[in-house]
Amino acid sequence: MLEKLPQSPVHAAPRYDWDELVQEDRVHRLIYADPAIFAQEMTHIFGAVWVYLAHESQIPNNNDFITGKLGLRPLIITRDNDGKIRALYNRCTHRGTTLCRWEKGNSKSFQCPYHGWSYLNTGKLRGVPWPDGYAVDFRDKKFNLAQVPRVESYRGFIFGTLNMEAPSLSDYLGPIKKPIDDWLNRNPGGKVVVCEANRLKFKGNWKLAYDNSADGYHVIYSHRSLIETENRFNDGQEKGMSYYKNSPDKLEMYVAYTGNGHHYKDKRPNLEKRAGGLWAIESLHPGMEHYAEKLRAKLGAKAEAALDLAGSEPMNINVFPNLSLLGNHIQVIEPVSFEETNAVWYGTKIEDADGTLGEDVVNDINALRMRTQEGFPNLGEVDDITNFEQIQRGLACLEDEWIYMNRGMGMPERFRTDADGVIYGPATDEVFMREYIKEWKRLMMAEPNLAVQREP
């Protein structure tokens, strides 16, 4: 059963001239600082497009579940007893409390902690305490949990949308699938297993993180202390993000906007193309060299290729609106309010899919992958978060209204567009921001056909 949702009251009475708020070269402070715009984003963006919910490796077995969010809506993402992945609203149909308070687990049913109504993990109401006190038929589907009507996966990444007219997930992703495929295909079996997360939060709008996600312009300034620290750990050899020094736009790395708000930064062309070329630029934090030596002693000539599996993939892949693949990590952006956001960094590990590496080697590679958290996610993300919080403070200057994203604009010689419409530009360019924010504006002005579903 589908329930069509009414239009959001905000949209029914538009208060803004969207063309005034989002211009070619600049955006108005209100798009980050207005609670009403944020409220509209929760339907027009985090309701109307495919939003990343979880990874299949977090619920590998039937009846596994993990809690998550679709915008502000709390969800239970579960693989039911038949193996079907569902995104149930984590909201008891009795009086509305969250039904499941566990972060994850394995259960065929959920019992509400408030008055004990219980539900199967298909979303169907199973029973209520003392039903003889009710004069209703609990087989009425209105008592079953609401659920996200469309849930699809792409290579393990689970997405959901309430929009019945959204394209298929595959079409929504479009050309961004290619860098995602590359990111996965370098691993045995072409996959990753998602681990626990490093959870950060900041007092700023969620789009500040998305604006920054392929920004090559800030790196050498904002992350100076990280780059210097990493160079000190590595006897002055240039590691990590050092290639942003001097003239980054002259290097082969580039930024690409692939449509539907998605974009990526590709630093792979800067690498030496040889086994060990990726590991050579990995910044070793104290103690990591122990694993590298152990792998070299054990594997000899094959060690460099194994170490590359531990190295941070030099890509930032950003899937609008809330998923980024950065190095070996998955970052999920969770809006909390117009001025508060969670930035959750999941580690990933690899598996010995074809049995060629052996358990010991895979464990050491995964230990190194986990320790790459000590680089950018711990010591770099805090630089970015500080910028986001300070932008939100700056946006309190009511009379100084504009944010510029015009680097590269009016310089067509800096760009090329391929047959799929993908726009390529130099690493420090703001073209990806201008393009994604146009898509944001289009979505905010559209009339999405949203629905929830309940088991019959």
Where along the sequence are the contacts to ligand FES (CB under 6 A)? 92, 94-95, 97, 112, 114-117
Q: Is 250 exposed, middle or buried (0-12, 13-18, 19+ CB in 10 A)?
A: exposed
Tell me the closest approach of the beta carbon of residue 257 to Fe ion, in angstroms.
18
CB-CB contact of 441 with 418 (8 Å): no
CB-CB contact of 145 with 230 (8 Å): no
Contacts (CB under 5 A) with Fe ion, residues 182-201: none
Residue (56 or 384) nearer to Fe ion, CB: 384
Tell me the closest approach of the beta carbon of residue 133 to ligand FES, in angstroms.
13
Check the CA dihedral 320-153-65-70 and report its sign: positive
Half-sphere exposure of 437 (CA within 13 A, CB side): 28
Residue (285 or 454) nearer to ligand FES, CB: 454
Tell me the closest approach of the beta carbon of residue 328 to Fe ion, in angstroms.
16
Residue (114 or 404) nearer to ligand FES, CB: 114
Closest residue to Fe ion, Cβ-based?
384
Q: Which does 112 bind (CB under 5 to 8 A by kind): ligand FES, Fe ion, none?
A: ligand FES
The residue behind tokens 């969770």 is 334
Tell me the closest approach of the beta carbon of residue 239 to Fe ion, in angstroms.
16
The letter for the amino acid at 227 is I
Residue (97 or 406) nearer to ligand FES, CB: 97
Structure tokens belonging to residue 230: 């990493």
Q: Going by C-beta distance under 8 Å and a sequence separation of 6 or more, which residues neighbour residue 133? A: none
Look at residue 78 and give its three-state secondary structure: strand
Q: Which does 95 bind (CB under 5 to 8 A by kind): Fe ion, ligand FES, none?
A: ligand FES
CB-CB contact of 450 with 43 (8 Å): yes
Write the DSSP string, 391-424: HHHHTT-TT--EEE--TTTT-GGG-EE-TT--EE
Structure tokens belonging to residue 398: 């009511």
Tell me the closest approach of the beta carbon of residue 253 to Fe ion, in angstroms.
15
Which range of residues in 33-41, 153-161, 282-290, 376-384 is near Fe ion by CB under 5 A? 376-384
321 cis-preceded (ω within 30 degrees of 0): yes
Phi and psi, residue 195, nearest 5°: -105, -160
CA distance 227 to 245: 10
Residue (128 or 336) nearer to ligand FES, CB: 128
Residue (41 or 384) nearer to Fe ion, CB: 384
Q: Which does 384 bind (CB under 5 to 8 A by kind): ligand FES, Fe ion, none?
A: Fe ion
Structure tokens belonging to residue 295: 């792998």
Residue (114 or 221) nearer to Fe ion, CB: 221
Tell me the closest approach of the beta carbon of residue 47 to ligand FES, in angstroms.
24
Question: What does the DSSP 8-state code read for residue 5?
Answer: P
Tell me the closest approach of the beta carbon of residue 450 to ligand FES, in angstroms.
24
Q: Which does 60 bind (CB under 5 to 8 A by kind): Fe ion, ligand FES, none?
A: none
Residue (53 or 431) nearer to Fe ion, CB: 431
Q: Does residue 384 bind Fe ion (CB under 5 A)?
A: yes
Tell me the closest approach of the beta carbon of residue 383 to Fe ion, in angstroms.
6
Per-residue buried b or exposed e for 387-420, using 16+ beta carbons within 10 Å of the residue's own CB: bbbebbeebeeeeeeebebebbbeeeebbeeeee
Residue (364 or 384) nearer to Fe ion, CB: 384
Q: Which does 97 bind (CB under 5 to 8 A by kind): Fe ion, ligand FES, none?
A: ligand FES
Tell me the closest approach of the beta carbon of residue 387 to Fe ion, in angstroms.
8
Q: Does residue 435 bind Fe ion (CB under 5 A)?
A: no
Please report, as ranges, the residues that interact with Fe ion according to CB under 5 A: 384
